[in-house]
Amino acid sequence: MLTKVHTGLDPVPGIWWKPAHKAERVWVAIAFAWCMVLFAMMPLFHWKGGQNPSGVRRRVDPKAFYARTMAFAAQYKVGEDRGLPIVQPPPGADVYLVGLTFQWYPILKLQRGKEYTLHLSSLDVNHGFSLFPLSINFQVVPGYDYGLRVTPTAAGDLRIICNEFCGIGHHTMVGRVIVVDDAGKPVADNRRSTIPNGGAR
Amino acid sequence: MTAPALPRFRTCGATGHRIDRQAELLVRFNAVVAVVALLVGAVAALLLILTRWQAVHLLPAVWYYRILGVHGMNMLIFFIIYFEMAVLWFAGTVLLDARPAAPKFGWFNFGLMLVGSILVEAMQWSGRADVLFTSYPPLKAHPLFYLGVILFAVGALGVVGQFFATLVIAKREKTYKGSLPLVVYGAMTAAIIAVITLVHGAAVYIPTFLWSIGLIPAVDPEVYRLLWWALGHSSQQINVAAMVAIWYMLGALTVGAVVLNEKVSRSAFVLYILFISMASAHHLLVDPGFSSAWKIVNTSYFMYMAVLASMVHGFTVPAGMELGMRLRGYTDGLFGWLRRAPWGDPGFSALVLSVVVFGFFGGITGVTIGTEQINITVHNTLRVPGHFHATVVSGTAMAFMGATYYLLPLVFQRKVAFWKLAQAQPYLFAFGMLLVETGMTFAGSFGVPRRHWDISFSQAPFDVQFSPAVDLFLAIMGIGGILAFTGALSFILIAVKSVFLGEKVTEFPRGAIVAGIPQGLTNPPVQPANADALNEAMHAESRGIAGATPGTLVLVAVFLVAFMLYYFTNWKLLTFLWKIG
Tell me the pLDDT tens digit for each residue of A159-168. Answer: 999 999 999 9
Rounded Cα gap, residues B245 and B213, in angstroms: 41
**Residue in chain B lying closest to A191 (CA):** B462
- Nearest chain A CA: its distance from B33 CA (Å): 26
Question: Within the 11-50 window of chain B, which residues sit less than 8 Å (CB to CB) from chain A?
Answer: none
Chain B CB contacts of A136 below 8 Å: 376-377, 577-578, 580
Task: Quote the strand ranges of B303-427, DSSP E.
Answer: none
Would you state the pLDDT for residue B280? 86
Would you state the pLDDT for residue B4? 63
Evaluate if residue A201 carries a pLDDT over 70.
Answer: no
pTM of the model: 0.94
Residues A80 and B544: beta-carbon distance below 8 Å? no
Task: Give yes or no: residues A67 and A130 share one domain.
Answer: yes
What is the distance, to the nearest Å, from the Cα of residue B485 to the centroid of all Cα atoms in its chain?
17
Spatial CA neighbour of B141 closest among B132, B123, B153, B129: B129
**Mean pLDDT on A151-174:** 95
Task: Give yes or no: residues A24 and A78 share one domain.
Answer: no
What is the distance, to the nearest Å, from the Cα of residue B22 to the centroid of all Cα atoms in its chain?
26
Spatial CA neighbour of B567 closest among B419, B261, B417, B363: B363
- Whether A53 and B65 lie within 8 Å, measured CB to CB: no
Nearest-10 crossing angle of helices B103-125, B143-172: 160
Characterize the bridge pairing of strands A94-100 and A116-122: parallel
**Residue in chain A lying closest to B552 (CA):** A23
- CA quadruple A93, A98, A102, A106: dihedral sign: negative
Would you state the pLDDT for residue A197? 38
Task: Give yes or no: residues A64 and A28 share one domain.
Answer: no
Rounded Cα gap, residues B495 and B473, in angstroms: 32
Would you state the pLDDT for residue B202? 86
Burial class (CB in 10 A: 0-12, 13-18, 19+), B571: middle
Would you state the pLDDT for residue B550? 94
Residues B264 and A28: beta-carbon distance below 8 Å? yes
Residues B107 and B26: beta-carbon distance below 8 Å? yes
Task: Give yes or no: residues A68 and A157 share one domain.
Answer: yes
Task: Give yes or no: residues A157 and A84 share one domain.
Answer: yes
In a domain, A201, yes or no: no
- Nearest chain A CA: its distance from B255 CA (Å): 10
Which class in CATH covers the domain with range B24-506+545-573? Answer: mainly alpha
pLDDT tens digits for A1-42? 567 899 999 999 888 898 888 899 999 999 999 999 999 999
Q: What is the CATH number of the domain that holds A176?
A: 2.60.40.420
Give the confidence band of A194 by pLDDT, cuts at 50, 70, 90: very low
**A5: three-class secondary structure by DSSP:** coil
- Whether B225 and A141 lie within 8 Å, measured CB to CB: yes
Rounded Cα gap, residues B87 and B399, in angstroms: 12
**Mean pLDDT on A142-152:** 97
Nearest-10 crossing angle of helices B419-444, B468-501: 150
- CA quadruple A119, A123, A124, A128: dihedral sign: negative
Would you state the pLDDT for residue A189? 52
Check if B452 contacts A (Cβ < 8 Å): yes
Give the confidence band of A195 by pLDDT, cuts at 50, 70, 90: very low
Give me the residue from B177, B178, B288 closest to A141, CB to CB: B288
Task: Give yes or no: residues A11 and A94 share one domain.
Answer: no
Would you state the pLDDT for residue B13? 84
In a domain, A200, yes or no: no
ipTM score of the complex? 0.93
Residues B148 and B118: beta-carbon distance below 8 Å? yes
- The domain in which residue A23 lies consists of 1-52
Which helix (DSSP H) or strand (DSSP E) does residue B348 occupy?
helix B346-356
* Residue spans of chain B under pLDDT 70: 1-5
Task: Give yes or no: residues A70 and A47 share one domain.
Answer: no
Evaluate if residue A199 carries a pLDDT over 80.
Answer: no
Task: Give yes or no: residues A93 and A156 share one domain.
Answer: yes
Q: How many domains does chain A have?
A: 2
Give me the residue from B308, B380, B547 closest to A32, CB to CB: B308
Evaluate if residue A192 carries a pLDDT over 60.
Answer: no
Task: Give yes or no: residues A12 and A27 share one domain.
Answer: yes
Spatial CA neighbour of B274 closest among B244, B305, B229: B305
Concatenate the DSSP letters of all residues of B399-452 into one string.
HHHHHHHHHHHHTS-BPPSSHHHHHHHHHHHHHHHHHHHHHHHHHHTTTPBSS-
Check if B562 contacts A (Cβ < 8 Å): no
Nearest-10 crossing angle of helices B346-356, B234-255: 140
Task: Give yes or no: residues A80 and A171 share one domain.
Answer: yes
Give the confidence band of A187 by pLDDT, cuts at 50, 70, 90: low
Q: Which of A1, A2, A7 to mutate to test the interface with B (most CBs of B within 10 A)?
A: A7
Report chain A's terminal Cα–Cα distance, integer Å.
Answer: 73
Question: What residue type is A52 in one-letter code?
Answer: N
Give me the residue from A9, A32, A148 closest to B183, CB to CB: A9
Give me the residue from A5, A146, A150 closest to B327, CB to CB: A5
- CA quadruple B281, B283, B289, B293: dihedral sign: positive
Q: Which of A18, A32, A35, A101 to mutate to test the interface with B (most CBs of B within 10 A)?
A: A35
- Nearest chain B CA: its distance from A1 CA (Å): 8
In a domain, A195, yes or no: no
Strand partners, A110: A179
**A94: three-class secondary structure by DSSP:** strand
Domain map (residue ranges) of chain B: 24-506+545-573
In a domain, A197, yes or no: no
Task: Give yes or no: residues A111 and A66 share one domain.
Answer: yes
Question: What residue type is B577 in one-letter code?
Answer: L
Q: What average pLDDT does chain B have?
A: 94
Evaluate if residue A129 carries a pLDDT over 90.
Answer: yes
Task: Give yes or no: residues A126 and A180 share one domain.
Answer: yes
Residues B445 and B474: beta-carbon distance below 8 Å? no
Spatial CA neighbour of B373 closest among B307, B285, B444, B450: B285
- Whether B535 and A2 lie within 8 Å, measured CB to CB: yes
